[in-house]
Structure 1
Amino acid sequence: MKPFSWSTEKYVAVFLFVVLWALIFYSTSLQSGDALKPPAFFSFRFGRPDRCAGRYVYMYDLPPRFNADLARDCRRLSSSTDMCRHLVNDGFGPAITDGGSLPESGAYATDQYMLDLIFHARMRRYECLTADPAAATAVYVPFYAGFDLAMNMDKSDLSERDALPQDMVDWLVRRPEWHAMGGRDHFMLASRPTWDFLRGPDGGWGNALMTYPAIRNMTVLAWEASPWHGNDFAVPFPSHFHPTSDADVVSWQSRMRRQERRLLWCFAGGSRPDSRKTGRNQIIEQCGRSSRCAMLGKAAATKTPGEYLPSHAMRLLESAEFCVQPRGDSYTRKSTFDSILAGCIPVFLHPISAYVQYTWYLPRDYRTYSVFIPQADVNGRNASIEEVLKKIPPAKVAQMREEVIRLIPTVMYRDPAAKGMKFKDAFDIAVERVIDRVAKRRRAAVEGREWQDSVDGYDSWKYDLLEDGHKEIGPHEFDPYISM
């Protein structure tokens, strides 16, 4: 018997057959409105399946005045404390070595204002980073907007406050990468609340970065977004644990499941100038009268006003079933994510503190992982926090805590050097959602329209809460609590 062999004609016939079917599938995708997603036949790179197809990100190599120089000038970030110490370890800050409740490795005294640096460090090691902007789905702008604002917010001359943001915009709009979609495929991160970048022409707090039309075209990430604007999206505050492996994450989750929680509830924080308005005074008063509640003691305080030792704060959060999260200096606060890391069920007093913020990260049904007690009820002394929490059945508490523990990997920022991790962290989810948004905007542009996933104004937040496939908004249970 002759050994089997292929003739040139047979190779050609098979090749033509594959090409024919590939064209058929591609034609079908055009008709279904999915023209911008190449069929699997084309998801190859150098003859191998391309895991990064549709996920490539191009990162600008910005002039150093927009990032590296700002980091080097770190002593200007604060007039009251040395912020330079927080820049080490890719922005995670100094390692925590005093033991306590945090792991022996991967624990850092991370400052929330370092997220510009943390995100940039992760993007440098992003597996689907490309040097070819034409191959990219999205374009990342590593401008340290939070650093710039911190250094210039006290300047009375508004043009001085706006100088670097305006320079940044002028630089961007001259780039050929910008002209491809007018910036609609660009995104950036600002480690401050959105409000800090929405100053009007008549003065006030902050700078005008996010009022520029060019920035309005982009997707902007911040650890507190505005419910009334359509192009900014909230990402988690950085907490204190930055794992290097899946095993680290699983080990931590298991530990939080086994944790003995001797307290019913706790509050990790202090009073603020608006404490009466936000409910903090009432929380402190109610907790002080209860044997089932605890707050941070004097031993937890550092020399910096309002700052606490992470190990002490985490130990408190890990010891309680529920962690009360009133408004911070703004609507949100870092402690929310510290409490999730600690497996502690958060108790919110205002929807903007979480429910209309972190829609990429937290379940739409807030009852599955948290408790809501209206701020007005606490302020008016109409609600006892402890009585509300005591009425929740133990089985329900266990379900909620398990949901919180399940959320842990999604709201932390892993070590940039970690490789092969299966868990998606806060960075991974942010990039995925940005890419998805850009793809929808690109698809709409091909069809000659503008993709509208939100609007500016009172109802903007409602669009972010829509379930997939839904387009109509209407009355919502949070309407009584949210106003312009």
Structure 2
Amino acid sequence: MLPSCEHSCHQCPKRICLEETNKNLCLHSSCRWFLLVLILVLLPQIFLDFKYFVISNVSLASLLSDSPQHAITPETPTQGSSPDKNETCPLGRVYVYDLPPVFNNELLHNCSSLEPWSTRYCDAVLNGGFGQRAIELIGVVPERQAPAWYWTDQFMSEVIFHNKVQNYACRTLEPESATAFYIPFYAGLAVGRYLFGNHSSEERDRDCEMLLRWVQDQQYWKRSNGSDHFITLGRIAWDFHRYGPFGWGSGFINMAGMRNIIRLVIERSPWDPLEIGVPYPTGFHPRSNADILEWQRHVRTHRRTSLFCFVGGTRGAFKDDFRGRLLSYCKNESDSCRAVDCAKSRCHHGSSDILETFLASDFCLQPRGDSYTRRSMFDCMVAGSIPVLFWEQTAYDKYQGFLPEEHTSYSVFIDYKSLKNGTSIRKVLERFSSEEVRKMREKVVDLIPKIVYAKPQQGSEYIKDASDVAIEIVLRRLKKQGAD
């Protein structure tokens, strides 16, 4: 029952009074009609506020959950019927094949077979290919950013990309309306089981041959002979370029059925026009624009106490091991260089030491890895550190569409051969003024959205991530191909 208004409102025949001391609403009997109107006005807003509260808390709970996710579950895209389809997707739409599980999900469920001597892949395939939550980074990254960080394996792009393309805004369930057809085969995982050890070329090729037989039997393959199809390869191109029965890797790319298929590869062959280089997955998977913008602010303003750094392990089996030379050089220049020796520290998926080192350094030394490219280059750039390259093939001919053509805008190049003639890395880097360093870092920070893989659905709504850029490159190529 509402209290009387008499002590604070002497005339209340036709209005509601707000008692100022205890903020209670007081209503004379003749004012009850007004209360009814007020309830009718406020009820919709109360309902909306409650709905927003429930949705926000459900989203927060799902965001913080870390339940294992081995299989990729297809999402049903909204099939718009409005006449502006071409306006919303001017480059066209993508159809995703529903492959037999043996080509993707069964590989995830049987993760222990992907690397029999290690549990690495059973951790790596969690959370849609992002891996385990990187809770160790709490305190290294801003608290609100911590749920966006994972220990992501460098060879998980097939799983990550499949999860992303299932939720692509311009995906279609109607193959007759598709511009491009995506084949979600986890070739890198399938082939990777047989790369090491005493395995025959037949074993390395078996899954790939089965996949091509399946896809070549599809109606829309026959329409174009595969020229409007594309696939992601989660290992470097050289693992699929075997010539002859006794060489390294699989012969997948050289099979007749692959002759027209566009390939998204973490390290492309510069001589193959059908290969498109895409960034290695890093551990940062933003959930929204806010994540990206906040992280960019963080790396832009982070205090950097070292001129340069090196993160890597030696390759003792190699003659004149260049990475070993860089590690020794960095340790000798300890007043200017920070080093993380991966022989003594876990570097496979990243670590808090690695991220802290990149965040604290203006420049990061990026020699070639086991091949010309390194996942470390993208880790370094995500931390706002400027990469120093020693081979042009590490980046400059690999990632068109993701990295600027003007190489000096975001990186420094020092020919590895010049170091044998006494060139000092430190002196080269000290020649850059603070303003030049600031401009290069700004360019690196601007590139971050294009070189990370955002969370599906929750991902960066307006800022395109690496998967968005990659699909657009494919669609633009097909559109030009059709025009020609």
TM-score range, shorter chain: 0.7 to 0.9
* Alignment partner of 1:267 is 2:305: no
Amino acid aligned to 2:395:
A
1:46 alignment partner in structure 2: 82
Task: Give, in whole Å, the separation in 1 of the partners of 2:124 and 2:199.
Answer: 28
2:437 alignment partner in structure 1: 397
Per the alignment, do residues 277 and 248 of structure 1 end up closer, same or farther by CA in structure 2, a change over 3 Å counting?
A: same
Per the alignment, do residues 298 and 403 of structure 1 end up closer, same or farther by CA in structure 2, a change over 3 Å counting?
A: closer
Aligned 1:22-421 pairs, distance under 5 A: 45-48=81-84, 50=86, 51-82=88-119, 83-98=121-136, 99-102=138-141, 103-153=145-195, 154-273=197-316, 277=320, 279-290=322-333, 291-296=335-340, 301-302=345-346, 307=348, 309-378=350-419, 380-418=420-458, 421=461
Per the alignment, do residues 420 and 289 of structure 1 end up closer, same or farther by CA in structure 2, a change over 3 Å counting?
A: closer
Matched-pair contact (CA < 8 Å) for 2:151–2:349: no
Task: Give, in whole Å, the separation in 1 of the partners of 2:156 and 2:253.
Answer: 20
Per the alignment, do residues 80 and 301 of structure 1 end up closer, same or farther by CA in structure 2, a change over 3 Å counting?
A: farther
Matched-pair contact (CA < 8 Å) for 1:278–1:375: no
Task: Give, in whole Å, the separation in 2 of the partners of 1:308 and 1:166.
Answer: 31
Q: CA offset at residue 206 of structure 1?
A: 0.5
Q: TM-score, normalised by structure 1?
A: 0.79
- Structure 1 gaps of 5+ residues are 1-43, 445-484
Task: Give, in whole Å, the separation in 2 of the partners of 1:275 and 1:332.
Answer: 17
Matched-pair contact (CA < 8 Å) for 2:154–2:349: no
User: C-alpha deviations, 1:378-432, integer Å up to 9, x for none?
Assistant: 2x14211111101112211111010000001110000113156111110000000
Matched-pair contact (CA < 8 Å) for 2:150–2:283: yes
Per the alignment, do residues 419 and 330 of structure 1 end up closer, same or farther by CA in structure 2, a change over 3 Å counting?
A: closer
**RMSD of aligned Cα (Å):** 1.8
Per the alignment, do residues 175 and 324 of structure 1 end up closer, same or farther by CA in structure 2, a change over 3 Å counting?
A: same
Per the alignment, do residues 270 and 100 of structure 1 end up closer, same or farther by CA in structure 2, a change over 3 Å counting?
A: farther
Matched-pair contact (CA < 8 Å) for 1:301–1:308: no
Q: CA offset at residue 300 of structure 1?
A: 7.1
Matched-pair contact (CA < 8 Å) for 1:321–1:345: yes
Task: Give, in whole Å, the separation in 2 of the partners of 1:114 and 1:441.
Answer: 30
Q: CA offset at residue 351 of structure 1?
A: 0.7
Provide the identity percentage.
Answer: 35
User: C-alpha deviations, 1:195-238, integer Å up to 9, x for none?
Assistant: 00011124111010000122120100110011122211110011
**For 2:199, what is the secondary structure of its paired residue?**
coil
Stretches of 4+ aligned residues off by more than 6 angstroms: none
Matched-pair contact (CA < 8 Å) for 1:107–1:240: yes
Task: Give, in whole Å, the separation in 2 of the partners of 1:178 and 1:308.
Answer: 37
Matched-pair contact (CA < 8 Å) for 2:313–2:342: no
Q: CA offset at residue 299 of structure 1?
A: 11
Task: Give, in whole Å, the separation in 2 of the partners of 1:206 and 1:308.
Answer: 23
Matched-pair contact (CA < 8 Å) for 1:58–1:131: yes
**For 2:363, what is the secondary structure of its paired residue?**
strand
1:462 alignment partner in structure 2: none
Matched-pair contact (CA < 8 Å) for 2:385–2:441: yes
**For 1:336, what is the secondary structure of its paired residue?**
helix
Per the alignment, do residues 337 and 275 of structure 1 end up closer, same or farther by CA in structure 2, a change over 3 Å counting?
A: farther
Amino acid aligned to 1:90:
G
Aligned 1:4-23 pairs, distance under 5 A: none
**For 1:152, what is the secondary structure of its paired residue?**
coil
Per the alignment, do residues 298 and 52 of structure 1 end up closer, same or farther by CA in structure 2, a change over 3 Å counting?
A: closer
User: C-alpha deviations, 1:121-151, integer Å up to 9, x for none?
Assistant: 0011111111111111111000000001111
Q: How many residues align?
A: 397
Q: CA offset at residue 350 of structure 1?
A: 0.3
**For 2:135, what is the secondary structure of its paired residue?**
coil
Task: Give, in whole Å, the separation in 2 of the partners of 1:71 and 1:298.
Answer: 28
Per the alignment, do residues 421 and 275 of structure 1 end up closer, same or farther by CA in structure 2, a change over 3 Å counting?
A: farther
User: C-alpha deviations, 1:414-470, integer Å up to 9, x for none?
Assistant: 0113156111110000000000111122223xxxxxxxxxxxxxxxxxxxxxxxxxx
Amino acid aligned to 1:97:
I
- Structure 2 gaps of 5+ residues are 1-79
Per the alignment, do residues 265 and 275 of structure 1 end up closer, same or farther by CA in structure 2, a change over 3 Å counting?
A: farther
Task: Give, in whole Å, the separation in 2 of the partners of 1:222 and 1:273.
Answer: 28
Matched-pair contact (CA < 8 Å) for 2:91–2:472: no
User: C-alpha deviations, 1:93-135, integer Å up to 9, x for none?
Assistant: 1111121423322010001111111000001111111111111
Matched-pair contact (CA < 8 Å) for 2:307–2:337: yes
User: C-alpha deviations, 1:172-207, integer Å up to 9, x for none?
Assistant: 111111012111100000110000001112411101
Amino acid aligned to 2:99:
L
**For 1:296, what is the secondary structure of its paired residue?**
strand
Q: TM-score, normalised by structure 2?
A: 0.79
